């Protein structure tokens, strides 16, 4: 047959592709970087978008950090696409490091602990989602609502994560802003110089030919 149906990927194949893209993280990062520097927008807007994306990487926005990145980019008038691309820095490989750093810093500043390993942090988030689901079910059933688990989660995990992530995300985002602004301007300046040199060469060749 000329047209064949693609084989459906299994759960483990999808997971493997999520943890490791087909072209590898290095190639994927290079591709995304080229997309950023070639955006047809003011370099300052592009840099503000990158700031929003990097900032969102460090907060307690597991699995919806891109929503926070887009919202923040819109508020500060940054490039939304650049924010989405920058938020990809928070991926299955970097999430354990970012989460551990943020929670550890937040708990230390609040004086409520010395940090947790990343797998426990994700486990607490899963438990919080389960508790929310249980309480929603209790609204339409005879089950008893229980807010103790969510209260402890907010005090011991979410609040430290939010505090630590904000304190790390702001300087990280500002550093990314400065670097991207400088690199985008340099890239566009180099491209303009090359186009000018090419046009000059074409004009000289045209003059010689005539």
- Which stretches of the chain are DSSP H helices? 11-19, 24-37, 43-57, 65-75, 80-87, 95-110, 118-138, 148-153, 159-209
Residues in the chain: 210
Buried b (16+ CB within 10 A) or exposed e, 68-102: bbbebbeeeebbbbbbbbbbbbbbeeebeebbbbb
Quote the pLDDT of residue 101.
95
pLDDT digits (tens, 9 = 90+) for 10-46: 544 544 554 445 555 566 566 677 778 788 889 999 9
**3-class DSSP assignment, residue 103:** helix
- Within 8 A by CB and 6+ apart from 124, the residues are 116, 153, 156, 157
pLDDT above 90 as % of the chain = 40
Check whether 162 has a pLDDT greater than 50. yes
Quote the pLDDT of residue 208.
62
The tokens describing 13, both together, are 């194949």
Quote the pLDDT of residue 2.
45
Check whether 5 has a pLDDT greater than 50. no
pLDDT digits (tens, 9 = 90+) for 89-147: 888 888 899 999 999 999 999 999 888 888 889 888 888 888 889 888 988 888 888 88
Check whether 173 has a pLDDT greater than 80. yes
Question: Could you tell me the pTM of the whole model?
Answer: 0.77
The CA dihedral of 122, 123, 127, 128, to the nearest 10 degrees, is -20
């Amino acid at each position: 047959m000329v047209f064949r149906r693609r084989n459906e990927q299994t759960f483990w194949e999808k997971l493997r592709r999520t943890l490791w893209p087909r072209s590898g993280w290095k190639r994927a990062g290079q591709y995304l970087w080229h997309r950023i520097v070639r955006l047809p927008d003011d370099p300052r807007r592009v840099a503000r978008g990158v700031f929003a994306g990097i900032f969102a990487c460090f907060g307690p926005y597991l699995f919806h950090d891109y929503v926070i990145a887009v919202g923040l980019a819109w508020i500060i008038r940054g490039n939304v696409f650049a924010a989405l691309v920058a938020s990809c820095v928070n991926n299955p490989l970097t999430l354990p490091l970012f989460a551990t750093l943020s929670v550890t810093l937040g708990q230390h500043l609040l004086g409520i602990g010395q940090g947790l390993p990343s797998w426990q942090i994700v486990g607490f988030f899963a438990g919080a989602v389960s508790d929310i689901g249980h309480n929603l079910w209790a609204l339409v059933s005879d089950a008893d609502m229980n807010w103790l688990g969510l209260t402890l989660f907010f005090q011991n995990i979410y609040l430290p994560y939010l505090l630590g992530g904000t304190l790390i995300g702001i300087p990280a985002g500002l550093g990314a802003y400065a670097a991207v602004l400088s690199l985008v301007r340099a890239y566009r300046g180099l491209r303009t110089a090359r186009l000018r040199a090419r046009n000059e060469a074409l004009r000289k060749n045209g003059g010689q030919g005539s």
